[in-house]
Amino acid sequence: MAESTAPSTVQVEDPDAGIALPLSEFQALVKEFLEEYLKDKSKETVGTYRRSLNEFERWFVRGKGACRFRTSDIEAYKTYLMEEKGLHQVSVSTYLTAVRRLCQFMTDSGLLAENPAKSVKGNRRPATHSRQFLTDDDIKQLLKAVDDLGDSSEEIAKRDRAIVHAMLFAGLSEIEIVRSNVQDLEQTLMGWYLRIQGKGRTVKDQQVPIDPPVMDAVRLYLDTRHRIRPEDPLFVSHGHRSEGKRLNTRSVRSRINHHLERAGIKREGITPHSLTHTAALIWLNDGLSVETVKQRMRHGTIDTTMIYFRQQGRLTGEDDS
């Protein structure tokens, strides 16, 4: 482990007194936190923490030494995020999580007697998703749109159809689509699975069931490609200048939005990620248990899955919420 660069400030035993931390020591502390405390996290996760702590640093500097890492200071930062920055409640929770982990790092290092951010909770996540779900009629229109070649080549049309099926009927996200390789598809006695590297993960340590209709769509797409190697991306570009290169999330998002527009179902709240959300409603309406849907969606807690359970009626145009 690299030699610690943590500040040498003497710990104050009274939590209400806090500690005085010059900007240079604060910056060194954040640097060590990102490099050591988060060393096993993905680049995306470290990036999220870095952006969140950049905002905390701006607030820290503005206070000119007023922040002494007391609970009252963290409460003041939360108020700043909510009232001055006007951040969405989910963003406030994300920013506070980064500060809470930083303070825990300071506690573990002996700089603080206890974590002052532990009792400062983020705003509750909404009981419903801001992104809307697709209805049965929307799904029919979307599938009809992706079955129509339009002005697309056969490769692009079948690729897009496979991606829509993977998101809508396997619950895959844009980043999981992009990261998938051909060799990640595995056939077992229980059926086909796709090994994925989910958000915040550094390795492909999760398996997603790929039901027959999804696998059929993927096979039809792969049949349009030649000389496929196991290490090749599962979904690639078919443009003149980017033929065979891995798709990026922007490309996937653009193509899905294109088909939502063609299907006539693009409206406020309907985004490409709505397809992934809708997968949970489809499974629940098909009779899968809440616990099974939780596992398929890779939710951290059953509470998240219950958000979908309470909104099953949206799939058929009814409102169960």
Across the range 286-297, mean pLDDT stands at 91
Across the range 160-183, mean pLDDT stands at 95
Given a cut of 80, is residue 273 above it in pLDDT?
A: yes
pLDDT at 191: 93
pLDDT at 319: 56
pLDDT at 182: 96
Q: What is the pLDDT of residues 46-65, one digit of tens each?
A: 888 899 999 999 999 998 88
- Residue 282 pLDDT class (50, 70, 90 cuts): very high
Given a cut of 90, is residue 109 above it in pLDDT?
A: no
Strands 185-188 and 206-210, bridge-based pairing: unpaired
Given a cut of 50, is residue 1 above it in pLDDT?
A: no
Given a cut of 80, is residue 125 above it in pLDDT?
A: no
For 199-204, the CB contacts below 8 A with 24+ separation are: 199/44, 199/173, 199/175, 200/41, 200/42, 200/44, 200/45, 201/42, 202/40, 202/41, 202/42, 204/179
Q: pTM of the full predicted structure? A: 0.63
Site of tokens 């396997």 = 170
Cα end-to-end span (Å), the chain: 51
CA distance 13 to 300: 36
- Tokens at 200, concatenated: 């915040």
Helices 136-147 and 154-170 cross at an angle (nearest 10°) of 160
Of 59, 105, 60, the C-alpha closest to 82 is: 59
CA distance 248 to 142: 22
CA distance 220 to 235: 12
pLDDT at 3: 46
Phi, psi of 206 (to 5 degrees): -125, 155
pLDDT at 42: 78
CA distance 112 to 67: 13
DSSP state, 86?
A: -
pLDDT at 143: 95
Domains (range + CATH), the chain: 1-125 (1.10.150.130), 136-316 (1.10.443.10)
CA distance 281 to 275: 10
Q: What is the pLDDT of residues 225-269, one digit of tens each?
A: 988 999 999 999 998 888 889 999 999 999 999 999 999 999 888
CB proximity list for 264: less than 8 A, separation 6 or greater: 141
CB proximity list for 241: less than 8 A, separation 6 or greater: none
- Average pLDDT taken over every residue of the chain: 86
Q: What is the pLDDT of residues 191-237, one digit of tens each?
A: 999 999 866 667 888 899 999 999 999 999 999 998 899 999 999 99
Across the range 151-165, mean pLDDT stands at 91
Exposure string of 194-215, with b = 16+ CB inside 10 Å and e = fewer, is bbbbbeebeebeeebbbeeebb
Given a cut of 90, is residue 299 above it in pLDDT?
A: no
Share of the chain above pLDDT 70, in %: 88
**Taking the CB of residue 69, how many other CB atoms lie within 10 A of it?**
24
pLDDT at 306: 87
pLDDT at 5: 46
